[in-house]
Structure 1
Amino acid sequence: MCVYLERVLCLIASGAGVHRGLVSGLNPVMPTCEVCQQPANQICGGCKLVYYCSRPHQKLGWREGHKFKCCAFKIQYSDTLGRHMVATRDIQQGEMILREKPAIIGPRISCPTICLSCGKNLDPPEVNSKWDYYKCSKCNWPMCGPECEAADVHKPECKAMTDRKYKCDIKYQGPNKIQAAYCVISPLRVLLMSTSNPLQYENIMNLESHLEDRINTPLYTVLKANLVTFIVQVLGLPFDEETILKVASIFDTNAFDVRSPDGSTRLRAIYLTASMMDHSCKANTRHIFIGEDYHMAIIATVPISKGDLITTMYTQSLWGTLDRRKHLQTNKYFDCECDRCKDPTEFGTYLGNIYCSVCNSAFAPNVEARGAMLLSTNPLDETAPWKCEKCEHCILSKQMVWGNNALKQDLQRLNKTDPNQFEEFIEKYSQTLHPSNHLVVQAKLALVQIYGNYKGYSLTELSNAILRRKIDLCHELLEIADKLEPGWTKFRGKLLLELQAAMTMKTKREFETGKLTKAAAQDELMESLVLLQEATNILKVETHMKTILESKISELTNLLDTTAAET
């Protein structure tokens, strides 16, 4: 009876109707069909909550509305978490939990010149011996061309500006020139929904804004002068200052960073359901964007049990705790207290720690203490001192923050295409930063991406020593990924691709030079194929990866066949 009542409560919480004939007092009865209310024994494979008497009725129920209710989660509320997403059944690794179109999508607060319709970065053609963009014939905003000018997404804002005879004055000033004028577009699109789509407008306005925390920040002082003036005085729209700034703050709190696979488009969008997910610095999902309309797909990276929180990450997993929590406080206005943030070692990775200068000194009396690191005495308090795990040496938190920022700036100044600079950075700070410090990890990730992919460093051009270096780096990063981003994450998938490519090249060289027998070469190639198959399982949902993965599988299979045919 408890299981039966639980199912009824789940139906109510998920918004599904309780079936007629399902309850008779407190006695459980045969489940009934969602469509005809007759006894049924076929359960919906998605939500596991609704029954049907036949396949035709299941299809009919789907068309009549169950597709909008069928999901593996429900939205709940608590005083500590606010609104959050909970699994209503066991979810398998790799399962798509949600696919959702954006409620609103538009430019970031500041960005290079982009098309207002498709969001692509614009490279201006030469017109009449002058470089300039194609402009909308009505409002003069830069666009790709006539097709984008006529797109539905641009029509409402274009009309609002044209009615007031407003003309955009953006002109070509060189490549990648950052334009602040785009700060008005995304909030304007939401405000115009108040008449064109009032229900969607209300849904967006019901999201958390944290405006009271942002209102006196430097950014919102600028928005008061620019965004509010544009909406009220330039366009003459009937909105007060608080409403306008609330919309901007809702974007800052809830928007996802949307990027196209080729990097030509970067926007921000609000997804109403996905925004309900709670944050964790060790999330159990990842998200991807599908198609030109940027539908978001939420994918389980690990198995999720019924009743578990469904979580995402609103910061960078390869940042240390100091940087992650600061970013979340500044941009999302909450203090993360997840298990990773509470652990001064970050699950044994020591990602945010440094060596103790006393224990690791050349004159340190205790040789056994070598390798000891400074740990925060309270990771949830950024002002807490840092103390050595083996001796009494302590430093103030501000010293840790200052040193971390100084080394971060040093890393950011490096030439992103020169691997020697990253190798020198790692060597230079090897007595201060251990091999899994977050700054060293970011340098190693850059090396993995350069070795085998950049001009002058393709796999065929790499020396045997650098090829082995790439393989070792991949293994090191995969160990960190297993602790911080476990399961089918994009980070793991990309690393597996890099590793299998380097291992395949190494095997090929050693077989051709006689260092490997045919049997040994085939064993190593099969190991590479296993890695490639796992990478394929992780990345195959990303449409732009399909051709790449198929090509790699074909190449490796052919190499296996060729090796097997060698005498």
Structure 2
Amino acid sequence: MEHNREIPTCEVCQKPANQTCGGCKLVYYCSRAHQKLGWREGHKFKCCAFKIQFSDNVGRHMIATRDIQQGEMIMKEKPAIMGPRMSSPAHCLSCGKKLEPIKIGDKYDFYKCSICCWPMCGQKCEKADVHKPECKIMTDMKYKCTIKYEEPNKSEAAYCVIAPLRVLLMKQSNPQQYENICNLESHIDERIGTPLYTILKANLTTFIIQVLGMDFDEETILKVASIFDTNAFDVRSPDGSKRLRAIYVTASMMNHSCRPNTRHIYLGDDYNMALIATVPIAKGELITATYTQSLWGTLDRRRHLKINKCFDCDCERCRDPTELGTNLGNIYCSLCNGPGSEHSLTKGAMLLSTNPLDESATWKCEKCDHFILSKQMFWGNNALKQDLNKLNKSNPKDFEEFIQKYSQTLHPTNHLVIQAKLALTQIYGNQKGYILSELPDHLLQRKIDLCHELLEVADKIEPGWSRFRGTLLLDLQAAMTIQTKREFETEKLTKAGAQDHLMESMVLLQEATNILRVEPHMREALEAKIEELSSQLENGENESECISID
């Protein structure tokens, strides 16, 4: 017997319909015309693949209201407010560009706003809408910025007042957005006694209340500063010349995960955030982002999140002593791997945290009784991080020596070794003296091997279409193409074999293109890669047709 099924009806006219909204997949239309009409009449404000929920365990969070495909843009959101970092070298208050001094008379200084004297790019940025409200109130109160050029990259603490000031000014200019921002989590109770907020209490509140004469109490001012610290995203331009903090009200509702299922990119000069699904997300599943560095070990990630975001992460990766089998935070046991252990059954034994969710827990060998205290792990990590940070970023020898020097101490995928290996993939093929076409065969193979190693790690900690994976695939396919060409020219490969290898590279490039094509600044690079690889293929025009970046 055939069961009666409810026939979908048009959202506009209520007649039978068979066309689904391409965004939320939840409403139907009888025609394209009614879909456009429904969109204009309000569906555009309700159409999304997620909803915000609240629970006692995780607070506000974002979940999928339908199945979301890998690579799908889940949402696009304008920044509610943008501002400079708490402390930074001189940069433009309007566009965020790091400033270089210009010669004025017989000395160097920055271009200054002709009204309030804050360093700016020039007249265009000086007159930008984002700067006008703060400029006016400072000018009305006869305040002039005193920042001047003294030395390159000098950090200026004065920038700490700008972002909170911009939020406070919104109470009059945009009260609804002001309320939206003020309703975000602040964690002010956890921050109020910290050294940073002790300084802010003295400096920021004095500036707002006494210098600018604004009618806000100390608690409100510090709460706004804390909301910025808790919710702001670090926004950078593709070329790295601009860096800002921005609050995206809806995106702030996402939960953190050290193994996220999304990545975000910034589009245009207005820095609209686009949230991209890196893996398929099932209906009802949490939509997550990461608020820390994926390549850090658990000790560093959890401490960073506790200090900067005021919560203790207990995600799947943080609970696992091996970090999902990557061993990013692990070191070798000095007893099991000491002198004469080459043929020992305990060779390769590692120290693992006895409780990854407690940074004070001891680290014990997985095969013997040897253990060390957590503070020893912190000391060792910090010492090696300092060594790593001192290395010459354009000299592969330093990074190769670092890896070799600590090969008996650090697991091959320890986070410090992984960061050294990532640096090597960026040097080999890109730095002067190590251009890809000029690399000797052994260094070309080294780059290929490093890319494969890093991709294995990426699959576990940033699965799917992450930017990390996309850029690694681009590097790998470029190196493989050069290697194939050389092996064909030296008759190590037949023409057919070379063709097969080049098609493998084309498959890698296709995946990289799928991942990175949403990022506008990558379009030109992807087109160049496609053209370059196609030129290496016989009948390249046909093969290149299988790749599209539209």
Identify the TM-score tier after normalising by the shorter chain: over 0.9
1:56 corresponds in structure 2 to: 33
Residue aligning to 1:302: 279
Q: Aligned partners of 1:96, 1:312: CA distance in 2, in Å?
A: 14
Q: Which residue of 1 aligns with 2:545?
A: none
Q: CA deviation at 1:131?
A: 1.9
Query: Could you say which residue in structure 2 is the equivalent of 1:255?
Result: 232
Deviation string, structure 1 residues 526-557 (Cα, Å, up to 9, x no partner): 11111111111100000000000001100110
2:182 to 196, 202, 205: 205
8 Å contact from structure 1 (residues 359, 366) kept in 2 = no
Q: Aligned partners of 1:556 and 1:143: how far apart in 2?
A: 43
The residue that corresponds to 1:415 in the other structure is 392
Q: Distance in 2 between matches of 1:122 and 1:364?
A: 56
| 1:33 Cα offset (Å) | 2.7
Deviation at 1:362, TM superposition (A): 2.0
Cα offset, 1:499, TM superposition: 0.7
1:36 positional shift = 2.9
- Give the corresponding residue for 1:120: 97
1:135 corresponds to 2:112: yes
* Matched residue, 1:336: 313
Percent identity among equivalent residues? 75
Matched, 1:472 2:446: no
Distance 2:90 2:342 in 1: 60
Pairwise mapping of residues 136-215 of structure 1 onto structure 2 (< 5 A)? Answer: 136-215=113-192
Cα drift, residue 409 of structure 1: 1.5
Give, as a single letter, the amino acid of the residue that structure 2 aligns with 1:73: F
Structure 2 residue matching 1:261: 3-state secondary structure = coil
Describe the SS at the equivalent of 1:64: helix
Distance 2:336 2:148 in 1: 59
Q: CA deviation at 1:130?
A: 2.8
Matched residue of 1:380: which SS? coil
Alignment of 1:24-63 (within 5 A): 30-63=7-40
Instruction: Name 2:199's counterpart in structure 1.
Output: 222
One-letter code aligned to 2:94? S
2:548 equivalent in structure 1: none
Flag structure 1 segments of 5+ consecutive residues without an equivalent: 1-26
Q: Give the letter aligned to residue 549 of structure 1.
A: L
- Residue 284 of structure 1: aligned partner: 261
Distance 2:273 2:152 in 1: 30
Give, in whole Å, the separation in 1 of the partners of 2:267 and 2:62.
Answer: 22
User: Per-residue deviation at 1:127?
Assistant: 3.0
CA–CA distance in structure 2, aligned partners of residues 318 and 365 of structure 1: 30
User: 1:518 touches 1:563 (CA, 8 Å); kept in 2?
Assistant: no
Q: Distance in 1 between matches of 2:159 and 2:378?
A: 33
How far apart, in 2, do the equivalents of 1:178 and 1:342 lie?
Answer: 37
2-structure distance, mates of 1:449, 1:364: 35
Indicate the SS of the match to 2:345: helix
Pick one of 402, 405, 415 that aligns with 1:425: 402
Does the Cα contact within 8 Å between 1:112 and 1:121 map onto a contact in 2? yes
Matched with 2:346 is 369
Paired residue for 1:8?
Answer: none
Flag the 1:227–1:42 CA change in 2: closer, same or farther, 3 A. Answer: same
Structure 1 stretches (4+) deviating beyond 4 angstroms? 27-30
Shift of 1:136: 1.2
Query: Would you say the 8 A contact 2:458–2:468 is kept in 1?
Result: yes
- Displacement of 1:31 after TM fit? 3.8
Which residue of structure 2 lines up, in the alignment, with residue 447 of structure 1? Answer: 424
Using the TM superposition, name which of 290-299 and 377-386 deviates more: 377-386
* Counterpart in the other structure of 1:500: 477
Tell me, yes or no, if the aligned pair for 1:383 and 1:397 is still in contact at 8 Å.
yes
Partner residue in 2 for 1:403: 380
Please say if residues 534 and 540 of structure 2, whose CA atoms lie closer than 8 Å, have aligned partners that are also in contact. Answer: no
Supply the AA of the counterpart residue of 1:200. Answer: Q
- Residues 37/452 of structure 1: CA separation in 2 closer, same or farther (3 Å cut): same
Residues 1:28 and 1:522: Cα distance change in structure 2 (over 3 Å): closer
- Post-superposition offset of 1:466: 0.9
Partner of residue 542 from structure 1, selected from 500, 516, 519: 519
Deviations 1:77-117 (A, max 9, x none): 00011000000000000000010000001100011111111
The whole-number CA distance in structure 2 between the counterparts of 1:528 and 1:37 is: 51
CA RMSD of aligned residues (A): 1.7
Matches for 1:26-105 after TM superposition, within 5 Å:
30-105=7-82
One-letter identity of the residue aligned with 2:317: R
2: CA distance, partners of 1:417 / 1:143: 32
Counterpart Cα distance in 2 of 1:434 and 1:354: 5
CA drift at 1:515: 2.6
Q: Count how many residue pairs are aligned between Structure 1 and Structure 2.
A: 539
SS at match of 1:361: coil
AA in 2 matched with 1:435: P
Letter in 2 for 1:323: D
Query: 3-state DSSP class of the match of 2:351?
Result: strand
Are 1:266 and 2:243 counterparts?
yes
Deviation, 1:470, is 0.6
The one of 324, 341, 351 equivalent to 1:347 is 324
Letter in 2 for 1:313: T
Residues 556 and 28 of structure 1, relative CA distance in 2, 3 Å threshold: closer
- Secondary structure, counterpart of 2:82 in structure 1: strand
Asked if the contact 1:301/1:486 (under 8 Å) is kept, the reply is yes
1:561 maps onto 2:538 in alignment: yes
CA distance in 1: counterparts of 2:104 and 2:299, whole angstroms = 50
1-structure distance, mates of 2:287, 2:278: 11
What CA deviation, in whole Å up to 9, does each residue of 1:491-517 have, x standing for no partner? Answer: 000101111111111122222233322
Residue 158 of structure 1, CA deviation: 0.7
SS at the partner of 1:296? strand
Q: Distance in 2 between matches of 1:518 and 1:128?
A: 66
Structure 2 Cα separation of the partners of residues 54 and 517 of structure 1:
56
SS at match of 1:166: coil
Contact preservation (8 Å) 1:522, 1:563: no
The equivalent residue for 1:16 is none
Partner letter of residue 465 of structure 1? Answer: H
SS of corresponding position for 1:176: coil
Q: CA deviation at 1:562?
A: 8.1
Answer yes or no: is the 8 Å Cα contact 1:496–1:532 preserved in 2. yes
